[in-house]
Amino acid sequence: MTDIAKFATLLDDPEVRDLVFGLAHTRKPAELTRLADTPDGEPGAGRLRAIVLDLAVTTTSEQYRSWLDDNEHNQKMTTDQVRLTIGDGVLGDLADYASSTPAAVAWQLSEVLPDLVDAVSPGGRVVDTSLLAAEMAAATREDDLETGVFGN
């Protein structure tokens, strides 16, 4: 199963979309050496997919399994787990981008990341980078169309 309609629905919320796209395009977290030598660590869909996969290591197996299971309620994530997964440098970058604080961004991500993993893992398997990139591009196109010619 490769239908990730949940991802498009998640990105319908402008705040969530900005957070997810910001996360996908922040600098590579130096503290996450697990991603250093993988193509998934590249900016955009690759970086986002790498973070989704990295959550399997930085959260409990019960949490991550609940996010992969289409029939189970997503277990909560803590802000400490967010910090462990993406690092304080990335949180700072996202906070600057969002005109917010690292603590507020960590809290927002703790709410969004379980749903993100759920959205990009139909049937319990994380989709590949190319499908994720296509869905991100589609969301960008839809956002551009909604904005209109004059950016209103």
Cβ proximity of 131 and 4 under 8 Å: yes
Helical ranges in 26-121 per DSSP H: 45-58, 61-68, 79-98, 102-119
Q: Decide if pLDDT at 4 tops 70.
A: yes
Give the pLDDT score at 33. Answer: 43
What domains sit in the chain, N to C, each tagged with a CATH number? 5-139 (1.10.10.690)
Task: State the Cα angle at 5 between 149 and 45, rounded to 5°.
Answer: 70
Average pLDDT over residues 87-109: 93
Q: Decide if pLDDT at 125 tops 90.
A: yes
Please choose, from the candidates 10, 27, 32, 31, the residue with its C-alpha nearest in 3D space to the C-alpha of residue 109. Answer: 10
Q: Decide if pLDDT at 78 tops 70.
A: yes
pLDDT bucket at 139, cuts 50 / 70 / 90: confident
Residue with tokens 């660590």: 41
Most confident of 2-16, 122-136, 137-151: 122-136
Give the pLDDT score at 111. Answer: 97
Give the pLDDT score at 140. Answer: 80
Mean pLDDT of the chain, nearest integer: 84
Cβ proximity of 49 and 126 under 8 Å: yes
pLDDT bucket at 143, cuts 50 / 70 / 90: low
Q: Decide if pLDDT at 104 tops 60.
A: yes
Give the pLDDT score at 43. Answer: 78
Average pLDDT over residues 117-142: 90
More confidently predicted of 60 and 141: 60
